[in-house]
Amino acid sequence: MPNEQERLPRWQFRKQKKLEKRSKKRKEIAESREVPKEIENQKGEEYEQQKAQWEANEVKHKVIELARLKAIEKEEESRKIAQKKWQEILLSLPLSPNSNKFTLKKSKKESNLKIFVPSSEAEPKRRTYRDRFLEQKAKKNAF
């Protein structure tokens, strides 16, 4: 740093003052950010309590989820057992001898549906733009 008698150029002086202000501001912010140890300890205890509560709730939810899954499994098993019983019952039913015969009675019944009969004279085909274009093209090519 130059002596007090020596003068710095203006831009260097301004830069130096600016840097000093910044460092001063940073120090003030850092000091205000420092938290007393007592508050940190309280926050730590509070965090531990919340963590313990959260873990207890997590255990409860896991127990509930396991119970739900077991109930679903039991329902599925009972459903399968019921289905097997029904199949066994149906297979064990005796079949009557007449049940194998299946006859379809045929009856000739005249239908009275009205059918569209086209007239012998066919309507002239409608000319499309494409047909007209092709005709004009053919005329031009003919000449």
Query: Would you kindly state where each structural domain of the chain is located, as residue ranges?
Result: 10-141
* Phi and psi based region of residue 36 (left: phi greater than 0; alpha: psi -120 to 50; beta: remaining): beta
CB 8 within 8 A of CB 16: yes
pLDDT given at position 43: 80
Residue 1 has pLDDT above 60, yes or no: no
Average pLDDT over residues 88-109: 73
What is the mean predicted confidence (pLDDT) over 127-142?
Answer: 91
CB atoms within 10 A of CB 83: 10
For the stretch 43-70, pLDDT in tens is: 888 889 999 999 999 999 999 999 999 9
Per-residue pLDDT tens digits for 5-32 = 788 999 999 999 999 999 999 999 988 8
Of 3-12, 70-79, 84-93, the poorest mean pLDDT is in 3-12
- Three-state secondary structure string covering 66-123: HHHHHHHHHHHHHHHHHHHHHHHHHHHCCCCHHHHCCCCCCCCCCCCCCCCCCCCCCC
